[in-house]
Amino acid sequence: MTEGGLTPEQLERIVAIAMDLAREGDSGQLLDFVAHGLPVDVTDAGGNTPLMLAAYHGHAGAVRALLDRGADPDLRNARDQTPIAGALFKGAEDVVAVLRDAGADLDAGTPTARAAAAMFGREHLLAD
């Protein structure tokens, strides 16, 4: 058993469910997991956090809720990608705005948010 009385398989399943909730933007259920002890910056096998997946899938409300619970806007996944670069790639303007307001580093990751914005003609989303 792991800390908290969960087996590694149970913990893996909980993380998978949380990541699905992040992809769906279901911040209510996702925050229930966090309230019951799931670390807000938990990662899956690819190094993705719930914030990364919510950002990539365009869920500004879930992104805001996770940030309000202390999620790190600059955590990179195993491919060195940041949530804001993923949101820029997908054209999720509202998510980009939320992450910028949270102080996301525009020069972190590969590609950086600035490079992603330039690559996809979305520089206006990073203009002050």
pLDDT of residue 1: 36
pLDDT of residue 8: 87
Neighbours of 26 (CB within 10 A): 17
Q: Residue 27 class from Cβ within 10 Å (0-12 exposed, 13-18 middle, 19+ buried)?
A: buried
pLDDT of residue 66: 98
1-40, pLDDT tens digit by residue?
A: 344 677 889 989 999 999 999 999 999 999 999 999 999 9
CATH of the domain at 60: 1.25.40.20
Q: Which domain holds residue 75?
A: 3-126
pTM comes to 0.93
Asked whether 28 and 59 are in contact (CB, 8 A), the reply is: no
Number of domains in the chain: 1
